[in-house]
Amino acid sequence: MTTDSEAAIALKNEGNVAIAAKNWEKAIECYNKAIELDPTKAVFYSNRALAHTRLESHGFSIADASKSIELDPTYIKAYYRRATSNLSLARYAEALKDFRTVCKMAPNDQDARLKMQECEKMVKKINFLKAIEVGEPASAAEGLDLASMAVESDYDGVKLGDEMTLEFIECMIERFKNGKKLPKKYVYQIVLKAKEIFGSEPTMPEVKIADTQKMTVCGDTHGQYFDLLEIFNRNGYPTEEHMYLFNGDFVDRGSWSTEIALLLFAYKWLYPRNFFLNRGNHETDDMNRVYGFEGECKAKYNERTFKLFSEAFSALPLATLIGDKYLVLHGGLFSDDKITLDDIRNYDRSKQRQPGQEGLMMEMLWTDPQNLPGRSPSKRGVGMMFGPDVTKRFCERNGLEAIIRSHEVRMGGYDVEHDGKCITVFSAPNYVDTSGNKGAYINIGPDYKLQHNVFDAVPHPDIKPMAYAQSPLSSMMM
């Protein structure tokens, strides 16, 4: 007769097979059952932590790794996995502590030693920046004389004057497809103009769809430039009659993040009242340092380019209200039922450049839905999770049909949850070249009915995700 302990080991082994096949959900299911039968084995929690990490559920991963360490303080993999999840959340000091423990236990582990050294550099850098902080930092645009700046002599594209043109955008699209860059002068012009326009918009723009118009809502694109072009090729390029809203996370992970950001910013300049961008949790400095956008800006242009983008990201609206029916925001809802649309309207985002670990901005960028009622700690380790009852109350109180959010991979490209009142749309198919998911976008006409559209990833040049990441995470990709 099989004992509970033997059955648990068999389930663990089944979970390991699922891990090898990159079936993270199946792996978690197996480890859950193993833990129910035998909750005393450190390896069960540590392996489940790995699966949670792959699903970006870093809060769950940290909890599992910590439980594994509690059961067996000598279990090296648990320290490594907790360090990895803390690193993913830009918690460098916590990650460094665990990487040091790994290196002490396994002094010949060169991978862990490299990650420890990189974490040490990041901690020193952050401490240095804090030490020299005096009031509001000067803008990266200070001392930038665009009028006298020359365009590089080898640039053979359309010239950009004082106004954005469709001809310039079409040329830019082709240049980016062919691996070419823009002159720095034009990059600065586009980013500074976009920042100016964002700064003139409210925290929550309110959009009506006229009889001759339609609106397309897109989710995360994450530097997957060729998949972005697939959306435009399938669905139509932006015009004054065909409005677009990109719901955050334009950058990071994918290795064409500057191309996406510049293209979206150029469209914002061309159609300021018909093209909209919301801020995501990856339009933030901490995430950009970890997941590649900062490194990409420096590699393709320079450090000033990243700083200008950072300032523009901090000016982005946090939500968009479509036809008084749909609130579109990157993450989700709030820890307090009393929050209303008026709180979003009245929120002064200019006083807080980065979202931090609490407050309205953080929750709008980071929270996620759950199936259970009520609220729970976040699987990510930042923000929280909200149930269908929370969504129902928010929609009823604010006269909404639904919220539309992004922030999470959905294997089918989109998901309709919470009795139809919470819709997730994710527009990066085959996310980080490994997930196998569909991408999706939502079309909304003058009748405000939602039409969900699904598409597959398209081929791209052989440049891997996170190619420009300057952190240990670049070697941790799935």
CATH number for the domain including 245? 3.60.21.10
Residues 177 and 127 in one domain: no
Residues 208 and 244: their CA atoms lie apart, in Å, by 12
Residues 151 and 300 in one domain: yes
Q: How many CA atoms lie within 13 A of 115 on its CB side?
A: 31
Pick from 9-18, 118-127, 141-150: least confident: 118-127
Q: Is residue 115 part of a domain?
A: yes
Residues 25 and 157 in one domain: no
Q: Is residue 58 part of a domain?
A: yes
- Give the per-residue pLDDT at 280: 98
Q: Is residue 34 part of a domain?
A: yes
Residues 72 and 221 in one domain: no
Residues 70 and 191 in one domain: no
Kindly tell me if the per-residue pLDDT of 349 is higher than 80: yes
Q: Is residue 17 part of a domain?
A: yes
Query: For 447-455, what is the mean pLDDT?
Result: 98
pLDDT confidence of 131, banded at 50, 70, 90?
Answer: confident
Residues 96 and 204 in one domain: no
Residues 69 and 152 in one domain: no
Report the sign of the C-alpha dihedral through residues 286, 291, 294, 297, in that order. Answer: negative
pTM of the model: 0.91
- Give the per-residue pLDDT at 144: 93
Kindly tell me if the per-residue pLDDT of 478 is higher than 70: no
Among 131, 164, 185, identify where a domain stops.
131
pLDDT confidence of 139, banded at 50, 70, 90?
Answer: very high
Mean pLDDT of the chain: 95
| Helix ranges (DSSP H) in 178-292 | 184-200, 225-235, 257-270, 285-291
- Give the per-residue pLDDT at 316: 98
- Give the per-residue pLDDT at 285: 94
Which CATH number does the domain housing residue 110 bear? 1.25.40.10
Structural domain harbouring 79: 4-131
- Give the per-residue pLDDT at 476: 45
Residue from 58, 222, 242, 282 carrying the catalytic annotation: 282
Q: Is residue 345 part of a domain?
A: yes
Residues 362 and 318 in one domain: yes
Active site residue 222: no
Percentage of the chain beyond pLDDT 90 is: 89
Q: Please state, as a whole number, how many other Cβ atoms lie within 10 Å of the Cβ of residue 66.
A: 15
Kindly tell me if the per-residue pLDDT of 181 is higher than 60: yes
Residues 122 and 240 in one domain: no
Q: Is residue 138 part of a domain?
A: no
Q: Is residue 449 part of a domain?
A: yes
Residues 126 and 164 in one domain: no
Report pLDDT digits (tens) over 407-444.
999 999 999 999 999 999 999 999 999 899 999 999 99
Residues 364 and 400 in one domain: yes
Cβ burial 414-446 (10 Å sphere, 16+ → b, else e): bbebbeebbbbbbbbbbbbbebebbbbbbbbee
Residues 84 and 172 in one domain: no
Q: Which class for 290: exposed (0-12), middle (13-18), buried (19 or more C-beta within 10 A)?
A: buried
Residue 229: closest CA among 181, 187, 278, 174: 174
The structural domain count of the chain equals 2
Query: For 9-31, what is the mean pLDDT?
Result: 95
Residues 201 and 204: their CA atoms lie apart, in Å, by 8
Report pLDDT digits (tens) over 44-64.
999 999 999 989 899 999 999
